Amino acid sequence: LSGLATLTGPRHGGAWTGVTVLAEKAASVGVREAIRSMLSSEGVVRPFGHRLYPHGDPRARALMASFEAPPLYASLAEAGEELLGEPINIDFALASLAATFNLPEDAPLVMFALSRTAGWLAHAMEQVESGHLIRPRARYTGPGSESGA
């Protein structure tokens, strides 16, 4: 449940909204101007690049290869990579998929949450089977950690 609760932030789970805003702006002022505008106002264009995948998000590549994106999204992907030097990420791919199939507005979040849930369940099953935590990346050091809590 705590994992699902984190999906409401602008960087994790909520990043698809930036794609929607970018596409709406691109439809009115053009793809390059929309990208430049987002970059100048926010300092980042979240639909492009991913810190864990410096050479491109393989999830986005696989998903985009499975359908033909609307022309606006295809143009945004091309212009964004050219202007920013970074390819699209999974948030862009999910928003593009939702636009392609005219899915409900929050479909990218729902698809992201469902896929993450499947992954979390797989990890939990592996941990139960192995008897220990897998891939621990952090150690809690906040209040109560001194007493072993």
Catalytic residue, candidates 55, 57, 91, 123? 91
Say how far apart CA 47 and CA 26 lie, in whole Å: 13
Which residues, at least 6 apart from 84, have a Cβ–Cβ distance to it below 8 Å?
A: 35, 39, 45, 48, 49
Task: Quickly list DSSP for 38-90.
Answer: HHHHHS--TTB--TT-TT--HHHHHHHTTS---HHHHHHHHHHHHHHS--B-H
Q: Measure the CA dihedral 31/32/38/43, to 10°.
A: 150
- Active-site residue flag, 106: no
Q: 3-state DSSP: the chain helix, strand, coil percent, rounded to 5? A: 60, 5, 35
Catalytic residue, candidates 50, 57, 106, 132? 50
Token pair, residue 88, equals: 């699209």
- Active-site residue flag, 50: yes
**Residues identified as active-site:** 50, 91
